[in-house]
Amino acid sequence: MVSHSLGAMPAKACDHIAEFTNLWVERGILAWEELLPEVERTATRIGRIIGAPTDTVMMHTNVSSVQAVIASCLDYRERNKIVFSELNFPSVSYLWKAEERRGAEVCIVPSADGVEVDTIRLCEAIDRRTAMVPISHVLFRSSAIKDVQTIVARAHEMGALVLLDCYQSAGIVPFSVEELGVDFACGGSVKWLCGGPGAAYLYVRRDRIPEFAPRVTGWFGHRAPFAFTMPAQDYADSVWRYAGGTHAIIALYQARAGAEIIGEIGIEKIREKSLRQTARVISRCDAAGYTLRSPRAPERRGGTVCFDFAGSELVAKELNRRKFLCDHRPSSGIRMSPHFYSTDEECELFLDEVERIKTDSSL
Ligand SMILES: Cc1ncc(COP(=O)(O)O)c(C=O)c1O
Q: What pLDDT does 354 receive?
A: 98
Q: What pLDDT does 363 receive?
A: 67
pLDDT tens for 105-138 read 999 999 999 999 999 999 999 999 999 999 999 9
User: 171's torsion region: left (phi>0), alpha (psi -120 to 50) or beta?
Assistant: left
Q: What pLDDT does 234 receive?
A: 98
Which residues approach ligand 1 with their CB closer than 6 A? 62-64, 89, 91, 136, 140, 165, 167-168, 188, 200
From 140, 166, 332, mutation site for ligand 1 pocket: most ligand atoms within 8 A of C-beta: 140
Instruction: Give Cα separations from 208 to 66, 73, 166, 332 (angstroms).
Output: 16, 11, 19, 36
Give distance in angstroms: CA of 5 to centre of ligand 1.
9
The C-alpha atoms of residue 1 and residue 90 are separated, in whole angstroms, by 23
Q: Name the CATH superfamily housing domain 266-359.
A: Aspartate Aminotransferase, domain 1 (3.90.1150.10)
Q: Which top CATH class is 11-264?
A: alpha beta
> What is the pTM (predicted TM-score) of this model?
0.97
Give distance in angstroms: CA of 33 to centre of ligand 1.
31
For 83, the enclosing helix (H) or strand (E) is strand 81-85
pLDDT tens for 165-208 read 999 999 999 999 999 999 999 999 999 999 999 999 999 999 99
Instruction: Give Cα separations from 101 to 22, 97, 106, 234, 262 (angstroms).
Output: 46, 8, 11, 27, 41
Give distance in angstroms: CA of 61 to centre of ligand 1.
11
Q: What pLDDT does 361 receive?
A: 66
Q: Which atom of ligand 1 is nearest to the CA of 61?
A: 9
Give distance in angstroms: CA of 88 to centre of ligand 1.
10
Q: What pLDDT does 85 receive?
A: 97
Give distance in angstroms: CA of 117 to centre of ligand 1.
18
Give distance in angstroms: CA of 287 to centre of ligand 1.
32
From 93, 167, 193, 335, mutation site for ligand 1 pocket: most ligand atoms within 8 A of C-beta: 167
Mean pLDDT of 256-282: 98
pLDDT at residue 22 above 80? yes
Q: What pLDDT does 360 receive?
A: 86
pLDDT tens for 291-308 read 999 999 999 999 999 999
Q: Which atom of ligand 1 is nearest to the CA of 65?
A: 10
User: For ligand 1, atom 7, which residue shows the shortest CA distance?
Assistant: 63
Q: Structural domain boundaries of the chain?
A: 11-264, 266-359
